[in-house]
Amino acid sequence: MTQLNETHEPSLQSWLNSANLEGTDFPIQNLPFAEFRRAGSDEAFRGGVAIGDQIVDLAALNNAYLQGSLGDLLTAEAAIALAAAAQSSLNELMSLGSIHWSALRLALSRGLRAGSAHESVIAACLIAQSDAEYALPARIGDYTDFYASIHHATNIGRLFRPDNPLLPNYQWIPIGYHGRSSSINMSGADFPRPHSQMKAPDAEKPVYGPCKRLDYELEVGIFIGQGNAQGQSVAMDDAEAHVFGLCLLNDWSARDIQAWEYQPLGPFLSKNFASTISPWVVTMEALLPYRSAWTRPEADPQPLSYLESMQNRAAGGFDMQLEVLVETAQMREQGLAPHRLGLSNFDYSYWTVAQMVTHHTVNGCNLQAGDLFGSGTMSGPHAGSEGAMIELTKGGKEPVTLSNGEVRTFLEDGDRVIMRGWCERAGAKRIGFGEMSSTILPAIEA
């Protein structure tokens, strides 16, 4: 695991004032990556790094380096990483590995610090975030969604199996399924309510139409960096070296479609119509100050040996706050603030990122740079920490009253779901993920 270094120093200040403001998601200690261009333009998408309310245009910065304007700011490893990050996807950067990622991060940190001799060159490469639009950070070849919150699994299981909510394998194996990468969209991409078959429990036969029980899932996205050769598994202590960074993920779910189709092979059309991710990928190195010890309750089965390591026990977790809100059409019309539906934490995960990577490859499955994992819905142990509407409303039996008096059992057309994530504690700089949102549009008439 990468160690804390000078880039994490809480006292670091940037020459860009917006990066020093209290509560910013993007201080100099963060430096997350995205693919962007000027909004409404026909420019090529290219890599960028967030700093305060600005973006460092990495293609422009790479041109400055090639023209000799950055002096000795970049090491050889950093220069290779910068050229890769300047491209129209981050796959090549992700494939380079942690030595190159760290070298580029260190160079950017030094160049953005107050007093840097490179301020004028880098300042010429800045574009306001308010003037940008974003593309997916990488070409996502494969997408796997896990089920890593035992609280979510228990809450869901209790709806169907009150006396025995957890299936026998849950505490032994990181459960996951392969999703559809083609329907993963960037924050801001709205989508229509999906159609499929549904069957009510008391109905004689299924019907076809738009789903009526549309739901969100508050998740963390995990971008794979360096892959592994087919047939070669990744050991626990090496697993995080294969992870580039984390983002926010909303794995939209049609619960009534899911209930009819999921046996015997799991989710299908109930999941593959849309998933949404946030633009910014926060690197594993940036998150180091917020790593936490991972434990398994003594009364629970302990992981099998291939999923166990001292390193994972010591710092396998992430103290990362996760928030989900809804803004209804009526709220927008009346200028009202969105209503918080849940506040959770990635630390509630029963399985760690390292365990997900190791288990995914233990059979010889080959991961590739740009592959995406979903953590599964990150629900917590107490009321108010639910990560999905199906939990919050007890399967639709207990509707939620919103702050403006509206009532929701599941999501309605016009609802905008907003997710945020951040890490914050005394003695460290706040590290944020920005905001992710999408609005549900009416179903397209079939």
Residue 14 per-residue DSSP state = B
Q: How far apart are alpha carbons 387 and 222 in whole angstroms?
A: 17
**Residue owning tokens 């120093």:** 9
Assess contact for 419 and 275: CB atoms under 8 A.
no
Establish whether 359 is a catalytic residue.
no
Assess contact for 364 and 358: CB atoms under 8 A.
no
Phi, psi torsion values for 210, nearest 5 degrees: -70, 145
Q: Where on the phi/psi map is residue 360: left (φ > 0), alpha (ψ -120 to 50), or beta?
A: alpha
Exposure letters 42-58 (e unless 16+ CB within 10 A, then b): eeebbbbbbbbbbbbbb
Q: Is 439 exposed, middle or buried (0-12, 13-18, 19+ CB in 10 A)?
A: middle
- From the list 152, 195, 359, 360, the catalytic residue is 152
* Pairing status of strand 191-192 against strand 431-441: parallel
What are the residues whose beta carbons fall under 8 Å from the beta carbon of 419, sequence distance 6 or more?
216, 218, 248, 250, 278, 322, 323, 324, 325, 435, 436, 437
**Residue owning tokens 């026990």:** 313
Tell me which residues are annotated as active site. 152
